[in-house]
Structure 1
Amino acid sequence: MPDALELLIASARRNEACALVTLVGLHGAAPRRIGAQMAVTANGEVAGSFSGGCLDGSVIEDARRALDEGVSRRVRYGEDSPYVDIVLPCGSGLDLQFDGVVPAATVDAIAQAIAARRPFALRWRDPASPPACVSDAMPAADADTDAVVVQRMPALRLVLAGAGDTLLAMCRLARAADIAVIALSPERDLRAPLDALGVDLHVLQAQHALPLLDDAAFDAWTAAITLFHDHDWELPFLQRALDSDACLVGAMGSPRAQALRLERLQALGVDAASLTRLRSPLGLLPRARDPQELAVSILAEAMQAHRERCHPADARAISPTPAGA
């Protein structure tokens, strides 16, 4: 299922009108953070939400009106809202920006930034103006103006090196959560099930070398994880990942396996500071053994690392607990 910006881009490509709704102000607690979005197309497609159902129906109706009128406006819901019949159970106030028309240049710039996995921001000069897509270097707001800037960071991606049921379980779970995955494995017979999941498989030909991967494969919003029981396969991958900006570098295995792994990586020239980045045992559930349970445990830690990178104020410190063997 596409998210709001993906639906906005897809609608533009098929020349269909699409309204964009963005959470630009938050007063009190709420289930979504600043920057949450919804898209509503002329034919009734909807992507994104702002609540568990107490608000979204009204937002969709307002989005359709903005789409029909071709206007931009800002509406407060909840606390201090003109809609007295809409009460949010959390007691918060939400400022939603409705844009019935998003300029083609803005949609194109958003699409390019998402495809290149670059941070970007949407900037509204005032509530009655549609957004522009700008560099992430923009400040959070412009002093002495009505301008509002909402930043967007690249989505979590996984680069997984492994084999067998654990790799397959991780790929299935990640794809069910709409997380992009690049997989590396010596097992060629995984190609068909991974193709069915939309996962690109790079076949490992030897333990001492990696297939050719673009430098951007290990960007700052990617979790690089090894899932081997035969740990000889993981060393080149971990060397490459530890030399990158990946938000998480982790390896499945026991504390004993981790101690040996660190010794071998140090012997290969990996510096001590880089070795401190390597998380293992990996996963938030202690002593996870079943492939599905282990996949949930590891994916949760990867999502936590991505949140710490993108939204440090929201992230809670969670100490990894042993998982895997």
Structure 2
Amino acid sequence: MRELLGDLAGAWRAGERAGLATVTATWSSAPRQPGAAMLVRADGTALGSVSGGCVEGAVYELCREVAESGEPRTVRFGVADDDAFAVGLPCGGTIELFVERAGFPEVDVLAAEVAADRPVALLTGVAGPARGHHLVLTPGERYGSLGGDTIDAAAAENGRALLAAGHTGLVRLEPGTAVLVTSFPPAARMLVFGATDHAAAVARIGSFLGYRVTVCDARPVFATARRFPGAAEVVTGWPHRYLAAEATAGRVDGRTVVCVLTHDPRFDVPVLQVALRLPLAYVGAMGSRRTHDDRLARLREAGLDAAALGRLCSPIGLDLGARTPEETAVSVAAEIVALRRHGTGERLSGTSGPIHGGGMI
């Protein structure tokens, strides 16, 4: 839903009769997760997706109907339905949607918090007395109401727990009452060390994946914003000092990924000493097999144990046969996604079982 918030706020301010469909639950091989949404504006423009294409046509019509009637609806699509193939859901999964007239008074607060990259959650009542009501939740404040102080307090306690974990999902309160908590945590960070052509490509694909990308290099002639349009910021400084300072300030966490692309042991060994002692999601370093062996020896001499060295992804990336910086960036991104989602990195045509993994780090 994140990408829809500007349009959602615009539709509300304009007084449009727009429709919003949000995924509340999924089973089996459903292609989108809870919180995915489709907005249909008054002029018929459709934005977002709830199924990756499978049921978009049917959901579009539902959004138009609910936008006119103002009556929320809960619908489910799955292969067991008589009309499943008629609406194009052959994947074997099931999705449940809450469809409502789009917009609520607190949407501007929600959009502003997300734009400022501050943690915020949207609580939407989907069943029981809370149905059709909304509450916007920050770590310290709440805006709106789900229908009463008691339900607001209970929902806020559960909602803040999900927001702190960065999770989205249904919360069931008193019997018959259900609230969808859609969390918008700050973007995870990608720290790219080394101002190289490969770093520029990795920064672009990192931004595409939703990371807030920082490129850091000690050489000011190379560490320029013009060379790295895909980065949110470009920092001139020694990589290990920058990473240590960011960790001390609490600006890296278990979702942070680090890509060391310096090709120089003066830079990469000190920053890896810092990175491998932090609880980061991913630490990768570029280099040949010879460079990798030399780097491991230097890191052992610096006191890193086998457990720390076992977390190092080096040489960085998956074996795609990559040659160009852009191809290498795809290789790096593929490894990050595979580790985050607990994928095998194998070709899907040679595997069996569910396609969509549920793991996350």
- 8 Å Cα contact 1:242-1:277 kept in structure 2: yes
Q: Does 1:191 align with 2:224?
A: yes
Structure 1 residues 88-115: Cα deviation after superposition (integer angstroms, max 9, x where no partner): 2224432111132443446635753674
Question: Whole-Å Cα distance in 1 between the matches of residues 120 and 310 of structure 2?
Answer: 27
| Cα RMSD after superposing both structures | 3.8
Question: Whole-Å Cα distance in 1 between the matches of residues 121 and 317 of structure 2?
Answer: 30
Greater shift, 224-233 or 83-92, is seen at: 83-92
Question: Whole-Å Cα distance in 1 between the matches of residues 71 and 320 of structure 2?
Answer: 52
Look up the match of 2:205. 173
Structure 1 residues 152-176: Cα deviation after superposition (integer angstroms, max 9, x where no partner): 4745542111132111121233344
Question: Using a 3 Å threshold, how does the CA distance of structure 1 residues 242 and 176 change in structure 2: closer, same or farther?
Answer: same
- 8 Å Cα contact 1:194-1:200 kept in structure 2: no
Question: Whole-Å Cα distance in 1 between the matches of residues 23 and 305 of structure 2?
Answer: 43
Q: Does 1:258 align with 2:292?
A: yes
Structure 1 residues 31-65: Cα deviation after superposition (integer angstroms, max 9, x where no partner): 22333222334455543213343421222232233
Look up the match of 2:56. 56
Structure 1 residues 215-255: Cα deviation after superposition (integer angstroms, max 9, x where no partner): 45422222111112113212343344334332111111234
Q: Does 1:5 align with 2:5?
A: no
Q: Percent identity?
A: 31
Task: List runs of 5+ in structure 1 lacking aligned partners.
Answer: 317-325
- 8 Å Cα contact 1:71-1:100 kept in structure 2: yes
- 8 Å Cα contact 1:40-1:47 kept in structure 2: yes
Look up the match of 2:40. 40
- 8 Å Cα contact 1:163-1:187 kept in structure 2: no
Match of 2:311 among 263, 277, 296: 277
Question: Using a 3 Å threshold, how does the CA distance of structure 1 residues 150 and 29 change in structure 2: closer, same or farther?
Answer: farther
Question: Whole-Å Cα distance in 2 between the matches of residues 202 and 228 of structure 1?
Answer: 14
- 8 Å Cα contact 1:120-1:136 kept in structure 2: no
Look up the match of 1:94. 95
Report how far residue 23 of structure 1 moved.
Answer: 1.3
The normalised TM-score by structure 1 is 0.76
Question: Whole-Å Cα distance in 2 between the matches of residues 207 and 55 of structure 1?
Answer: 47
Look up the match of 1:142. 172
Look up the match of 1:67. 67
Look up the match of 1:210. 242
Q: Does 1:293 align with 2:337?
A: no
Question: Using a 3 Å threshold, how does the CA distance of structure 1 residues 131 and 298 change in structure 2: closer, same or farther?
Answer: same
Question: Whole-Å Cα distance in 2 between the matches of residues 226 and 97 of structure 1?
Answer: 43
Structure 1 residues 119-164: Cα deviation after superposition (integer angstroms, max 9, x where no partner): 8574535173244352234885426434144554745542111132
Residue identity matched to 2:272: L
- 8 Å Cα contact 2:203-2:231 kept in structure 1: no
Report how far residue 194 of structure 1 moved.
Answer: 4.1
- 8 Å Cα contact 1:207-1:233 kept in structure 2: yes
Greater shift, 135-144 or 45-54, is seen at: 135-144
Task: List runs of 5+ in structure 2 lacking aligned partners.
Answer: 137-158, 164-168, 344-355
Count of residue pairs brought into register by the alignment: 311
Structure 1 residues 248-292: Cα deviation after superposition (integer angstroms, max 9, x where no partner): 111112344334333433444555543332221221125544322
Question: Whole-Å Cα distance in 2 between the matches of residues 246 and 38 of structure 1?
Answer: 33
Look up the match of 1:21. 21
Question: Using a 3 Å threshold, how does the CA distance of structure 1 residues 276 and 151 change in structure 2: closer, same or farther?
Answer: farther
- 8 Å Cα contact 1:106-1:131 kept in structure 2: no
Greater shift, 159-168 or 14-23, is seen at: 14-23
